[in-house]
Amino acid sequence: MSYYTIVKIAITKSNVGRSGRAKRSPAPLLSFHTKPRNRNISDTGQDQYLTLVRINTRHWSGLAPDAGQNLHATMQSGSRKILVRIFRFFRFYLLRSLFERFTLKIGDTGKIPVSGSIKVYIQHKERVMPIQYKVIPNYLTNPPSYLARPIARNTLDYDGLAAQINLHNPTIPAATAKAVLEAFREEVIRQLANGNTINLAGFMSFITTLPARLDLPTDDLPLDPVDVKAKPSVVLKQEVTQQAKYERLPYSKKTPDIGAAYDTNSNIADWIRPDYGFRLDGSNIGFDATDPTQGVFLTDAEDNVVQQTKVSLNDPSKIIITPAFGGEPAVSPNVEKTIAVRSRYTKNGQLRTGEYSKHLRSTNVVTTEQPKLFVIGDNTNGPLVVSDYSGDQVMCRFEAVYRTDDQISLAVGPLEGPLGLKVIIPPAGGDMVLTGLDDDVTVNFIDDGSYDLFVASLLSYGRYMLEVCDLSTVGGA
């Protein structure tokens, strides 16, 4: 679902007639509204507005389209500045999706030589985005038919759904919405475990079943026999159907599509290390191992490309390799990598490449000589450095999240197991002490611009970054 805002300003001018009585102009001197330049506006409020103008009097002229920062107008009365201020004023509310109406009275201030009023109408509307789908062949029928497969735009987790609730209900903070969603989940579990059924009218019902087969009526239930079923209501389906629109995506050629990548020993996503199993899941990712142009290719931060030769599983939907980084790979802190599969689907067919959409990261070796964390690509610096750690050498993971409230949380923990307490990173920097290991870890920004750099890095990674580190003593311990 996307959003567009209609903003109308009507400026009416009071004239004094010959009879001495004030009279209104028959039409507003100026009215305009804004709408997005394109159909989609991001949830972060990154706005691209085009101002559309109607001019109803010779007193106003030269009002030009603008991208939303300022409103440029040339007026014989010389009141351009006050209109710009008004535009900035209501735009503040526009970005917060409020339904408001403001009436501003302007007296004889010298900027508008006659009395009048300015009315600002803000109407926030939402546009239902179409359900996108692809048409795919169904070879199980004779003759073959075709299926329509929905393609999800996004998969919302607790944070994503909470952000949408906040967007539609600005009085509900995203953090509160997330807490309620999590509490709702816990309460559903509690009530079902207590033998209750939950029926939320117009939404869903939750029930428990016991799909166990007993040979005799006196037999005991097997271990853990309970199953949980959730069923959407008919009303919910009807309302989705009434609002839904559809968009058919163009046909795309068959290519390798990598959907997930993870270390098979720890199941940590997007972490790759030599000599340990690494798995790719997806579709059409199998390849002909006898063709040297096909296979799995790993590229490091310095653009060194290494074809992987140790392949233990090669299926259309999953591949397992034992990674090799090559003779002279990029070293810490430049641990970012990309992975791709190249394949042909017929003997003499075109070689097609499918690259994993996310970056992989190998182990960052952190020492006194190399204390940097979260370096992107082949950059020489990243946002953070470890300034003090007095413990033993340990494999650990740092996790950073750019939250929906525009704050960055950072935590550290062992390679497997719970993380320590999440710390909110202050934009001004300073010592940030992280617990979660046997000894505390202190991190700092590299310089004054590191906070903005960290935000940009996190956004490029989808708001979440994982750094697996081989951490040794750092500082004056």
pLDDT in tens, 268-323: 999 999 999 999 999 999 999 999 999 999 999 999 999 999 999 999 999 999 99
Q: Is residue 285 within 8 Å of residue 297, measured between CB atoms?
A: no
Separation of alpha carbons 451 and 424, rounded Å: 12
Q: 334: which 2 tokens?
A: 């430049």
**127 pLDDT exceeds 80?**
no
* Contacting residues for 179 by C-beta, under 8 A, at least 6 apart: none
Across the chain, mean pLDDT equals 78
**94 pLDDT exceeds 50?**
no
Lowest mean pLDDT among 11-20, 237-246, 366-375, 465-474: 11-20
Separation of alpha carbons 283 and 258, rounded Å: 7
* Sign of the dihedral through C-alpha 105, 109, 111, 113: positive
Tell me the pLDDT tens digit for each residue of 160-208: 899 889 888 889 999 999 999 999 999 999 999 999 999 999 999 999 9
List of domains in the chain: 2-127 (no CATH), 158-248 (4.10.520.10), 257-361 (2.70.50.70), 364-471 (no CATH)
The conformational region for residue 318 under phi > 0 = left, psi -120 to 50 = alpha, else beta, is: beta
Helix (H, G, I), strand (E, B) or coil at 189: helix
Pairing of strands 74-75, 49-55: unpaired
Where residue 138 falls among pLDDT bands split at 50, 70, 90?
confident
Q: What is the pTM assigned to this prediction?
A: 0.54
The packing angle between helices 174-193 and 158-168, to 10°, is: 120
User: Which amino acid is located at 219 in the chain?
Assistant: D
* Contacting residues for 348 by C-beta, under 8 A, at least 6 apart: none
Among 325, 410, 419, 412, smallest CA distance to 366 is for 412
Q: Is residue 339 within 8 Å of residue 298, measured between CB atoms?
A: yes
Separation of alpha carbons 289 and 430, rounded Å: 52
Helix (H, G, I), strand (E, B) or coil at 13: strand
Q: What is the DSSP letter of 246?
A: E
Strand runs labelled E in 39-99: 49-55, 60-61, 74-75
**467 pLDDT exceeds 80?**
yes
Q: Sort 428 into a burial class: Cβ within 10 Å, 0-12 / 13-18 / 19+.
A: exposed
Q: Sort 224 into a burial class: Cβ within 10 Å, 0-12 / 13-18 / 19+.
A: exposed
Q: Is residue 326 within 8 Å of residue 309, measured between CB atoms?
A: no
- Predicted local confidence at residue 327, as pLDDT: 87
Neighbours of 137 (CB within 10 A): 10
User: Which amino acid is located at 343 in the chain?
Assistant: S
Residue, of 341 and 252, whose pLDDT is higher: 341
Q: 143: which 2 tokens?
A: 């003759």
**414 pLDDT exceeds 80?**
yes
At 106, phi and psi to the nearest 5? -120, 120
- Predicted local confidence at residue 128, as pLDDT: 64
**358 pLDDT exceeds 90?**
yes
Residue, of 79 and 292, whose pLDDT is higher: 292
Q: Sort 443 into a burial class: Cβ within 10 Å, 0-12 / 13-18 / 19+.
A: buried
Q: 137: which 2 tokens?
A: 């062949």
Percent above pLDDT 90 for the chain: 56
Separation of alpha carbons 126 and 97, rounded Å: 10
Where residue 429 falls among pLDDT bands split at 50, 70, 90?
confident
Neighbours of 176 (CB within 10 A): 13
Tell me the pLDDT tens digit for each residue of 262-277: 999 999 999 999 999 9
**115 pLDDT exceeds 60?**
no
Among 373, 346, 342, smallest CA distance to 356 is for 342
Where residue 405 falls among pLDDT bands split at 50, 70, 90?
confident
Pairing of strands 464-471, 394-402: antiparallel
- Predicted local confidence at residue 144, as pLDDT: 81
Tell me the pLDDT tens digit for each residue of 211-232: 998 999 999 999 999 999 999 9
Neighbours of 83 (CB within 10 A): 22
3-state SS, one letter per residue, for 258-274: EEEEEECCCCCECECCC
Q: What is the DSSP letter of 474?
A: B
DSSP-based helix, strand, coil % in the chain, nearest 5: 15, 40, 50
* Contacting residues for 55 by C-beta, under 8 A, at least 6 apart: 30, 61, 63
Q: Sort 201 into a burial class: Cβ within 10 Å, 0-12 / 13-18 / 19+.
A: exposed
